[in-house]
Structure 1
């Protein structure tokens, strides 16, 4: 692989290996992207790759670039054609720490770069004190289908967070649940959202048909003969000769004008409750529109990429929801209540009157669950290995709650704010949630550390099962964003898979981790463990024949593919592990021969 950029001031080259892999070639069907910008002191002359050469002859180039992959060594060279010492800058300084001047040639920089597991756009800035050039290259994942799986991981983290929050908020108000089939489970949060929008639509329709009116008193000019009870304003007007029209006289009152100010009650739809509903309805509609635009933007940034069916379904669904709610803003009572009230406003009418009560609860749930932020989401250049770990954890949490049929206690995962939800899951930090029923409690922990005498042990995901019929046991899931895709590996096993050391680490966990329980004493609680690795459904159809899959039944430890498009393997493993009979679940694998012989009665 080679990329060469030539301008009037610079010769920039990136060279690396042509990695031969059936999987990687399939993962990069579309041409990679590159953007180059120079200032007024420079002009682009040539952009050359292994496949083509372009001559833009300008200060901007936005087009086809070289195929750069994660976790691959490349050599970056920068030569100043003016003999001036260059300088290279990047958002991640560690990426370019080996790019240094060549001794005896201060106008040349050269060194190795490795994007590790950072994928997406990577921006370099090169300058010599007089001129600057910006180069933005696209780094592709080597283990994922860039057109589907990578985008699904990004959307899946925020989608799972929205779904967990929405399920929790719904359970605290009306205990509803929504089921889905295998064909729609990738966007389950949309199914919950659709049902919430439908409930809100019904509530708003009832409000439109039965609006709450507010009784106000307002001082208006009224014919004198229609005034039944004189207010202070009426008496002042008579005393001061104020009012409108011709003069007249009434016995006991004296001279007065034909029309006098009077305070009279009247009904209006411009009530605080209607204003609050309108404000929250506008906010929800705007959020839906912003979400739709965000999903559309992923397609606009890569116009040459084939459409992602799941992304399009999300866009269509959000557009449908937006069109469902938007017309209510032009209907009474909302069109008659243009002023805003504080978001924290509430009243007995808003919380108790039919229609208003349901709309109030639905809008609160929607506004808190639609906006998701936090360190796990708001990172412009994503380290995909950390993204994969977080997605695996949230997916496991969600499926454990489905298996047990219980709501997740999400308060250790998110912060609920008026402005939305902040996901508190941070790469490298511990997070724990609990799911509890009458007969079983499951505690799911991300980055749990066990301090053992033989050294600390830190599996990625720990599912602790506490049932009435047995001591606590641990199911371990290690998210390994590692995949052996070499031709020899694929030819031997029939499909890509994780490297051997990923499985060896799970055996170490089961042997090394010991826990002391007050009721049962000290022991090894790990009974089953699997390594999770990124492999799609199409490429894992031969996984049943892989030794690491067969090892799950033989020794209790193995590996399973896990991606948004390929979740059934892990789902079945979790469900079987949580619901298995006590004797079957407690089985730790084949016994030690010597121990079983020594411990056998009569020996």
Structure 2
């Protein structure tokens, strides 16, 4: 259990009360670190459903930060009240415990999770008030860099994952696929569920329809429009004609009325999709409840909510009047172009093909900043390389019989191969590549391996992502650098990489260094200021140093990549120590 915070650093950061509770968060006051222009919020917001609640807030603003510990206290005003607490994160939820008086308290930390976080206070089993706090990062700009980190990762993953789906955009047969397990199916559906509902709601508001002809035999005096079909019908049935004077008049005839209907093949296929999702959810519920282990009530409630929402479309919308789908060979443009339908079909393909983004990357709202930064560095380097070089192969995307797999995962090697269109040289960017050492194997984050024309060896460059930064605080050892930069311990790790990673020379049996340079990528935004840093100037001298790398600061990295890829093998050889 975490120790209670102590010392002078603990202050009351957020205080409020209602007619039923007192709520307090204590911790280190770092409000001064957030400037008004950096955020448009006061760091928290309050939500409640009870109309007659009397809310008093004693705090103007309160900002919360990653890796800080906060004491949360909830006291009740009435002894008969039963208090409860909920947070989406189980670790935070379990930290808040009840004491003898029935009040709640505990020490919580948001660790590296950045963004909005809901603290739900319950009274007698019902949600009483929701305090949404905003957790800020300490090493990067929240608005400018963190959001862009997420956007870059999301954009790249969509590009990788849907590239395959774009090439197979046609309605296939109704063969039931075993490509996705129920757990995978649920994870994918959980991510796309709200988007799926929005698409279905658009369709419900404007469903696809077609005109159908209704054939009816009616007295001739009630027939409003005489069509060619009417004349042909009378030609086949002359007994329906009677002679009056010099004219032949029909007693009755065929009448054709046009009527709009939503019972189209496209809507039948839509109904088939919705019924398929409902079937999978019910099957998942059935199998989960059969497991011989503790039942997660929250998971069951979420599952029941999904089932209820999906079932509503079948019983309360136009789909209830739509028939059963029968497979046809021809595909419909409705599912390729129509508003709502194309999105539903895209999500259907994701579910059917088993689009499984392995590792943490499928959690596109990932908040663990060190891991997010590591993924982003690899993704951003690839984005820079694709601007000027030809992509040859990419094993971060794998197509298997049961679906598309985006397999970028911490601890697992991934490789992307490029070619320089100017000279035909090929180079490989690897993530988590295990490199040879005569002692302990090394696995740096990113390795750029270049085969230079005329050269006899592969030129390797290490770019290690470190979500760390040191500042020249007065009295510290780092004060000598005058400006923020990478940690010295991380620079030392780059020296160790270069010394440890070697390759055997077949001619003389000696071991040669195979690393030409090793560089720390760290989150810092002022590139102009950092250019004067000794650990940046060291790159030119010894090919060891740090490079600032953020969405708002990628110029130095882009220029350096262009330099090492564009130089000849002789230029590279001369820079080897």
TM-score by length of 2: 0.58
| Whole-angstrom CA distance in 2 between matches of 1:392 and 1:519 | 37
Runs of 5+ in structure 1 lacking a partner? Answer: 53-64, 172-218, 225-233, 248-254, 262-274, 280-339, 351-358, 591-603
Deviations 1:536-571 (A, max 9, x none): 2xx332111111101211221111111222211101
Q: Which SS does the other structure have where 2:140 is aligned? A: coil
| Whole-angstrom CA distance in 2 between matches of 1:66 and 1:344 | 61
Q: Which residue of 2 aligns with 1:498?
A: 486
Q: Which SS does the other structure have where 1:529 is aligned? A: strand
Cα distance, 1:486 vs structure 2: 6.5
Cα distance, 1:505 vs structure 2: 2.0
How do residues 573-584 of structure 1 correspond to structure 2 at under 5 angstroms?
573-584=560-571
Cα distance, 1:128 vs structure 2: 6.3
Q: Which SS does the other structure have where 2:143 is aligned? A: coil
Q: Which SS does the other structure have where 1:583 is aligned? A: helix
Question: Alignment partner for residue 135 of structure 2, among 139, 143, 149?
Answer: 139
2:491 equivalent to 1:481: no
Q: Which residue of 2 aligns with 1:92?
A: 89
What is the Cα-based RMSD across aligned positions, in Å? 5.0
Question: Alignment partner for residue 25 of structure 2, among 14, 27, 30?
Answer: 14
Instruction: Flag the 1:415–1:120 CA change in 2: closer, same or farther, 3 A.
Output: farther
Runs of 5+ in structure 2 lacking a partner? Answer: 1-10, 168-226, 255-264, 270-324
Instruction: Flag the 1:451–1:475 CA change in 2: closer, same or farther, 3 A.
Output: closer
2:498 equivalent to 1:513: no
Contact kept? 1:26, 1:145, Cα under 8 Å: no
Contact kept? 2:63, 2:135, Cα under 8 Å: yes
Contact kept? 1:87, 1:128, Cα under 8 Å: yes
How do residues 170-569 of structure 1 correspond to structure 2 at under 5 angstroms?
221=229, 241=237, 374=357, 376=361, 378-380=363-365, 382-403=367-388, 405-410=389-394, 412-413=396-397, 423-436=406-419, 439-450=424-435, 452=437, 454-470=439-455, 471-485=457-471, 487-488=473-474, 493-515=481-503, 523-536=512-525, 539-569=526-556
How do residues 7-46 of structure 1 correspond to structure 2 at under 5 angstroms?
7-19=18-30, 25=35, 28-38=38-48, 43=53, 45-46=55-56
Instruction: Flag the 1:30–1:504 CA change in 2: closer, same or farther, 3 A.
Output: farther
Q: Which residue of 1 aligns with 2:70?
A: 74
Instruction: Flag the 1:555–1:79 CA change in 2: closer, same or farther, 3 A.
Output: farther
Contact kept? 2:412, 2:432, Cα under 8 Å: yes
Cα distance, 1:381 vs structure 2: 5.3
Instruction: Flag the 1:422–1:101 CA change in 2: closer, same or farther, 3 A.
Output: same
Instruction: Flag the 1:368–1:91 CA change in 2: closer, same or farther, 3 A.
Output: closer
Q: Which SS does the other structure have where 1:481 is aligned? A: coil
Q: Which residue of 2 aligns with 1:333?
A: none
Contact kept? 2:64, 2:136, Cα under 8 Å: yes
Instruction: Flag the 1:447–1:82 CA change in 2: closer, same or farther, 3 A.
Output: farther
Instruction: Flag the 1:396–1:47 CA change in 2: closer, same or farther, 3 A.
Output: same
| Whole-angstrom CA distance in 2 between matches of 1:345 and 1:520 | 67
Aligned residues: 413
| Whole-angstrom CA distance in 2 between matches of 1:244 and 1:18 | 95
Cα distance, 1:169 vs structure 2: 11
| Whole-angstrom CA distance in 1 between matches of 2:424 and 2:161 | 24
Deviations 1:94-139 (A, max 9, x none): 345555556xx56454443322221111122344654544322111
TM-score by length of 1: 0.56
Q: Which SS does the other structure have where 2:55 is aligned? A: strand
Contact kept? 2:118, 2:130, Cα under 8 Å: yes
Deviates more, 1:460-469 or 1:541-550: 460-469
| Whole-angstrom CA distance in 2 between matches of 1:76 and 1:165 | 41
Contact kept? 1:442, 1:466, Cα under 8 Å: yes
Contact kept? 2:427, 2:449, Cα under 8 Å: yes
| Whole-angstrom CA distance in 2 between matches of 1:243 and 1:425 | 78
Instruction: Flag the 1:72–1:452 CA change in 2: closer, same or farther, 3 A.
Output: farther
Contact kept? 1:535, 1:566, Cα under 8 Å: yes
2:118 equivalent to 1:123: yes
| Whole-angstrom CA distance in 1 between matches of 2:91 and 2:541 | 43
Q: Which SS does the other structure have where 2:15 is aligned? A: strand
Instruction: Flag the 1:140–1:129 CA change in 2: closer, same or farther, 3 A.
Output: same
Instruction: Flag the 1:76–1:48 CA change in 2: closer, same or farther, 3 A.
Output: same
Contact kept? 1:368, 1:416, Cα under 8 Å: no
Instruction: Flag the 1:381–1:433 CA change in 2: closer, same or farther, 3 A.
Output: closer
Instruction: Flag the 1:485–1:435 CA change in 2: closer, same or farther, 3 A.
Output: same
| Whole-angstrom CA distance in 1 between matches of 2:498 and 2:538 | 14
Cα distance, 1:393 vs structure 2: 0.9
Contact kept? 1:498, 1:533, Cα under 8 Å: yes
How do residues 55-74 of structure 1 correspond to structure 2 at under 5 angstroms?
65-74=61-70
Cα distance, 1:452 vs structure 2: 4.9
| Whole-angstrom CA distance in 1 between matches of 2:366 and 2:561 | 32
Contact kept? 1:28, 1:140, Cα under 8 Å: no
Q: Which residue of 1 aligns with 2:171?
A: none
